[in-house]
Amino acid sequence: MPAFSLDPEQTTWCARLRTLAAEQLRPLADKGEPGRVNRPLVAALGELGLLARLFDSGALDLCLMRESLAQVCTEAETALALQGLGAHPVAAFGSPEQRGRWLPEVVAGRAVAAFALSEPGAGSDAAALALRAVPDPATGGWRLHGEKRWISNAPEADFTTVFARTGDPEGLDGAGGVGGAGGARGVSAFLVPADRPGLTGEPLDMLAPHAIGGLAFDGVPVGPEDLLGEPGQGFRVAMNTLNLFRPSVGAFAVGMAQAALDATLAHTAGRPAFGGVLADLQAVSHQVAEMATRTEAARLLVYAAAEAHDRGDPDVPRRAAMAKLLATETAQYVVDAAVQLHGARALQRGHLLEHLYREVRAPRIYEGATEVQRTIIAKELYRNAAARTGSTGSTESTEMSSARPSGAGVPA
């Protein structure tokens, strides 16, 4: 595999984005109410052209944006990512009418998007979705019944990409659904505006201070015009989105790790201890070296996965899973080590590391928990090995092997 490095133009742009985040986005984030959508912050992302960039650039560019913002303002990073996660299915699979109605509003920061896959009983096993799309003969559409849980931007989003079961879970299609097959093949994706009758929601109080909630669907009407993609092909929509965003979750994690590392370098270089400074202690300097090495390794794996996506490589699910796995686990390690080296001051409310410590935990769970990523990686490895040797063992398609344990939960 060729060596990877950013070109000077990319490096300069990342530095400029960090400056913009510090000067324009951080003040807006500080004024936001924890647990609520920060609409002025979303609007500022639109005014700076960052939301438009979500839809006219590739996975590597998305990673660079998320990493750069995360180093300075995690709230801005998350707001950007959630707009992309919720609206990417519309951009990639929406009808001309759907794209024309919603994408200009998303790009301008006027409409807030959400991505609703997880349910109380279907997180990591996302193919076990229970939200039902029951046919409505009177309209030729469906009625949604059930609930979603741990959905970012819920219940405040202006529209939500919703995944519901249109086929019978046993494959018999006894409910008259259009999917016909159970599991992942019985799911369809819908664009559901917030003002649909029967749609309600409640906020959830989570560790990370982002807008996260549950949604209840009591006969919410949807029609063929609300479908994203083909009936019964909702998991194609979901996996297309997750394969793009999983490496960038890793980039978010790398940005947090870098922020923690930078803070640790500054602190240990100046903190008096035992007749010198902390950095003079070998135990400390070796810890910092380990933090830096792991962060750089994670960064390179994230960039490589993003480039593979942009090239259209067939092994994107494996690479994306590896990038998310290593980067999120690395960030947890680096932030925890940074807290330890800072001591009690890092536990004080309002300290950068106190903030990062709360932020860093969720990415190991959402969009596929660490254990799910290992499952995806192993399945892809065995599938590829079987294909090379001509084995007649399990050779599930890439989409299905990646889709079954998707774990597309709450983006923090």
Active-site residue set: 367
What element of type H or E holds 353? Answer: helix 352-359
With CA atoms as reference, report the closest residue to 241 among 119, 373, 127, 368.
Answer: 368
CA atoms of 211 and 42, how far apart (whole Å): 13
What element of type H or E holds 174? Answer: none
CA atoms of 223 and 188, how far apart (whole Å): 12
For the record, the structure tokens of 182 come out as 């159970």
CA atoms of 410 and 401, how far apart (whole Å): 21
CA atoms of 288 and 284, how far apart (whole Å): 6
With CA atoms as reference, report the closest residue to 181 among 240, 131, 231, 147.
Answer: 231
With CA atoms as reference, report the closest residue to 407 among 122, 186, 208.
Answer: 122
By the 8 A CB rule, do 64 and 249 touch? no
By the 8 A CB rule, do 63 and 250 touch? yes
CA distances from 282 to 5, 287, 312 (A): 31, 8, 45
The phi, psi pair for 337, rounded to 5°, reads -65, -40
For the CA atoms of the chain, what is the radius of gyration?
Answer: 22
How many separate helices (H) and strands (E) can be counted in the chain? 13, 10
Specify the amino acid at residue 249: V
